[in-house]
Structure 1
Amino acid sequence: MQSPSNSDDSSPLIDYSRRSSTARPHRHLSTHPHSLRQPNVNPHQHLLDRTEENCPKHLTGSKRTRYLKAGRKARQNLQLIQQLTPFHYPAFHSINPVFIHHLTPNSTLESIINHIQDVNIYVIDTESEPPTPFRSEPLPATLQIQAIHNQDQTTILLIEVQFLPHPSTYTFSLIQRLCYNIFSPQHHIVSWGEISQELLPFQQFTLFDLSQIRHPLNLQRYFTNEWNRTHPHISSCKTQQRQSYPDPDPQLDLICHIDSDDLDEDLFPDKVHEVNIRCTCPDTIHPYKNDNEQWSLQKAIQYTFNEALDKALTFNAWTCGLDPLLHSGHTTEEINTRAALTSYAVNDILAPTKLLFHLKHEIIIPHQSSNTVTSTSTIEDQQPQLPSYFLLAESHAKHIDPLINTEYCTITTVSISGLKWCDTDNSHLCAYSLLQSAEISSHLSNASAILLLIGMNSVRQFDASQVIQDVAHTITYLHQHYPNLKHKQTISILTTFPCFKPSFRFPSISSLSSNIDLYNEELNDLSKNLHYTVLDFHVAESHLASDQMHLHFNHRYIIYNSIIEHFKALSQYQSPPPRTHQRSRDALKRRNKIRHNALKHKQQQFYIKRNIDTHWKPKHIKQLFAQYNIKYARLSEVHKHVITIHFNNLKDRDHADEQLTTDIFNEEHFHQYSHIEQ
Structure 2
Amino acid sequence: MQPPSDSDGSSPSIDYSRRSSTAQPHSSRQPNVNPHQHLLDRTEENCPKHLTGSKRTRYLKAGQKARKNLQLVQQLTPFHYPVHHSINPVFIHHLTPNSTLESIINSIQDVNIYVIDTESDPPTPFRSEPLPATLQIQAIHNQDQTTILLIELQFLPHSSTYTFSLIQRLCYHIFSPQHHIVSWGEISQELLSFQQFALFDLSQIRHPLNLQRYFTNEWNNTHPHISSCHTQQRPSRPDLDPHIDLICHIDTDDLDEDLFPDKVPQVHIRCTCPDTIHPYKNANDQWSLQKAIQYTFDEALDKALTFNTWSCGLDPLLHSAHTTADINTRAALTSYAINDILAPTKLLFHLKHELIIPYLSSNTVTSTSTIEDQPPPLPSYFVLSDSHARHIDSPINTEFGTITIIAISGLKWCDTNDPHLCAYSLLQSTTMSSHLSTASGIILLIGTNSLRQFDASQVLQEVAHTINYLHQHYPNLHRKEAIAIVATFPCLKYYPYFPSTLTLSANIDLYNEQLQILSTNLRYTVLDFQVAEAHLTSDQMHLHFNHRHITYNRILEHFQQLSQRPPPTQRTHLRSTAATTRRNQKRHAKLKHKQHQFTISRPIDIHWKPKHVKHLLKQYNITYARLPEIHKHVIKIQFNNPKDRDHADEQLPTDIFNEEHFHQYSHIEH
Normalising by structure 2, what TM-score?
0.58
Aligned to 2:44: 52
Decide which of 105, 124, 128 is 2:97's aligned counterpart: 105
CA distance in 2, matches of 1:515, 1:570: 32
Q: For 1:180, give the aligned amino acid.
A: Y
Secondary structure of 1:149's match? strand
1:281 is displaced (CA, Å) by 0.7
2:651 corresponding residue in structure 1:
none
**1:338 aligns to what SS in structure 2?**
helix
Question: 2:153: which partner in 1?
Answer: 161
Structure 2 partner of 1:346: 338
Q: In 2, distance between residues paired with 1:121 and 1:452?
A: 33
Partner of 1:520: 551
Q: Distance in 1 between matches of 2:59 and 2:27?
A: 27
Question: Is the Cα contact below 8 Å between 2:471 and 2:478 reproduced in 1?
Answer: no
- Measure, in 1, the Cα distance between the counterparts of 2:135 and 2:445: 26
2:481 aligned to 404, 427, 450, which one? 450
Letter of the structure 2 residue corresponding to residue 281 of structure 1:
C
> Which residue of the partner structure matches residue 320 of structure 2?
328
* Alignment of 1:225 onto 2:217: yes
Task: Report the Cα distance in structure 1 between the residues aligned to 2:163 and 2:444, rounded to whole angstroms.
Answer: 24
> Does the 8 A contact of 2:39 with 2:62 survive in 1?
yes
Which residue number in structure 1 is paired with residue 456 of structure 2?
426
CA contact (8 A) 2:23 2:319 kept: no
Letter of the 2:82 partner, please give it. Answer: P
Post-superposition shift, 1:185? 0.9
CA distance in 1, matches of 2:197, 2:64: 36
The CA distance in 2 between the partners of 1:226 and 1:118, in whole Å, is 29
Paired AA for residue 523 in structure 1 = R
Q: Name the SS of the counterpart of 2:81 in structure 1.
A: coil
- Asked if the contact 1:420–1:455 (Cα under 8 Å) also holds between the matched residues in 2, the reply is no
Match of 2:559 among 496, 518, 533: 533
Identify the match of residue 87 of structure 1 among 64, 79, 89: 79
Residue 669 (structure 1) aligns with: none
Question: How far, CA to CA, are the matches of 1:187 and 1:415 in structure 2?
Answer: 43
Call closer, same or farther: CA 1:114–1:434 in 2, change over 3 Å: closer
Q: Amino acid of the residue matched to residue 320 of structure 1? A: C
* Partner residue of 1:72 out of 42, 56, 64: 64
SS for the counterpart of 1:450 is helix
Deviation at 1:512, TM superposition (A): 4.5
Residues 528-677 of structure 1: matches in 2 within 5 Å? Answer: 532-534=558-560
Amino acid at match of 2:216: T
Q: Residue 147 of structure 1 aligns to which amino acid in structure 2? A: A
Contact 2:133 2:311 in 1 (8 A): yes
CA 1:74–1:510 in structure 2 vs 1: closer, same or farther (change >3 Å)?
A: closer
Q: Deviations over 1:149-200 (max 9, x none)?
A: 1111111111111111110111111111111111111111111111111111
One-letter amino acid of the counterpart of residue 167, structure 2: I
Residue number in structure 2 paired with 1:42: 34
Partner of 1:319: 311
Structure 1 pair 104–293 and aligned structure 2 pair: CA distance change class (3 A)? same
- Give 1:129's aligned amino acid: D
Shift of 1:392: 11
Task: Give the whole-Å Cα distance in 2 for the aligned partners of 1:217 and 1:153.
Answer: 21
| Aligned residue number for residue 279 of structure 1 | 271
**Contact 2:138-2:341 at 8 Å conserved across structures:** yes
Output the amino acid matched with 2:56: R
Unaligned 5+ runs, structure 1: 1-28, 252-263, 372-376, 382-388, 497-504, 536-565, 577-678
- Does 2:169 match 1:186? no
One-letter code aligned to 1:141 = A
**What is the 5 A alignment of 1:406-421?**
418=447
Q: 2:356 aligns with which of 364, 375, 381?
A: 364
Of the candidates 226, 234, 238, which is equivalent to residue 226 of structure 2?
A: 234
Q: Is the 8 A contact 1:422 1:430 kept in 2?
A: no
Note if contact 1:144-1:157 (Cα within 8 Å) is conserved in structure 2: yes
Moved more, 227-236 or 389-398: 389-398
Q: Structure 2 CA distance, aligned partners of 1:380 and 1:47? A: 56
CA separation in 2, counterparts of 1:130 and 1:359? 33
Does residue 137 of the first structure (1) align with residue 168 of the second (2)?
no
Alpha-carbon displacement from aligned partner over 1:346-383 (angstroms, at most 9, x marks no partner)? 11111111111111111111111224xxxxx89999xx
After superposition, what is the alpha-carbon deviation per residue over 1:21-54, rounded to whole angstroms, capped at 9, x for unaligned?
xxxxxxxx99972522221111111111111111
Count of residues in Structure 1 that have an aligned counterpart in Structure 2: 467
Report if aligned partners of 1:85, 1:306 keep a CA contact under 8 Å in 2. yes
Structure 2: distance between partners of 1:55 and 1:494: 51
- Counterpart Cα distance in 1 of 2:127 and 2:514: 45
The residue type paired with residue 233 of structure 1 is H
In the superposition, relative to structure 1, how do residues 476 and 115 fare at CA in structure 2: closer, same or farther (>3 Å)? closer
What is the letter of the counterpart of residue 533 of structure 1?
F
In 2, Cα distance between the equivalents of 1:412 and 1:272?
A: 71
Larger RCO of the pair (alpha carbons < 8 Å, separation 6+): 2
- Contact 1:320 1:328 (C-alpha < 8 Å) held by counterparts: yes
CA 1:448–1:230 in structure 2 vs 1: closer, same or farther (change >3 Å)?
same
Residue type at the aligned position of 1:454: I
Deviations 1:557-596 (Å, cap 9, x if unpaired)?
xxxxxxxxx98x988x7799xxxxxxxxxxxxxxxxxxxx
Shift in CA distance, 516/168, structure 1 to aligned 2, threshold 3 Å: farther
Judged with a 3 Å threshold, the aligned counterparts in structure 2 of structure 1 residues 428 and 281 are, in CA distance, closer, same or farther, namely: farther
The range that moved more, 331-340 or 66-75, is: 331-340
Determine the C-alpha separation between the residues in 2 that align with 1:405 and 1:290.
58
| CA pair 451-154 structure 1, distance change in 2 beyond 3 A | same
Look up the SS of the partner of 1:157 in the other structure: strand
SS at match of 1:36: coil
Give the drift of 1:108: 1.0
Cα distance in structure 2, aligned partners of 1:412 and 1:265: 77
Partner of residue 151, structure 1 = 143
CA contact under 8 A between 2:486 and 2:526: conserved in structure 1?
Answer: no
Alpha-carbon contact 2:305-2:336 (below 8 Å) kept: yes
Distance change (3 Å), C-alpha of 1:320 and 1:534: same
Q: Deviations over 1:441-482 (max 9, x none)?
A: 9999x966623343495476799x999999999999999x99
Match of 1:123 among 115, 124, 134: 115
Q: Distance in 1 between the 2:69 and 2:300 partners?
A: 9
**Using the alignment, how far apart are the partners of 1:321 and 1:127 within structure 2?**
12
Query: Is 1:204 the counterpart of 2:234 in the alignment?
Result: no
Give the deviation of 1:238 after TM superposition. 1.1
Separation (CA, whole Å) in 2 of partners of 1:304 and 1:392: 44
The 1:428–1:91 alpha-carbon spacing in structure 2 relative to 1, beyond 3 Å, is: farther
* 8 A contact 1:144–1:349 mirrored in 2: yes
Task: Measure the CA separation in 2 of the matches of 1:363 and 1:154.
Answer: 15
Supply the distance in 2 between the matched residues of 1:440 and 1:314 (Cα, whole angstroms).
28
Contact 2:456 2:507 in 1 (8 A): no
8 A contact 2:257–2:264 mirrored in 1: yes
User: What CA distance in whole angstroms lies between the structure 1 residues aligned with 2:223 and 2:276?
Assistant: 10
Q: CA deviation at 1:122?
A: 0.7
What CA distance in whole angstroms lies between the structure 2 residues aligned with 1:438 and 1:41? 20
Tell me: CA distance 1:299–1:32, structure 2 relative to 1, closer, same or farther (3 Å): closer
The alignment-based identity, stated in percent, is 64
Query: Cα deviation per residue 1:395-429 (whole Å; 9 max; x = unaligned)?
Result: 657555799999x9998999897499999952564
Equivalent residues in 2 for 1:288-303, closer than 5 Å: 288-303=280-295
Counterpart of 2:554 in structure 1: which amino acid? L
What amino acid does structure 1 have at the position aligned with 2:92?
Answer: I
Larger radius of gyration: 2
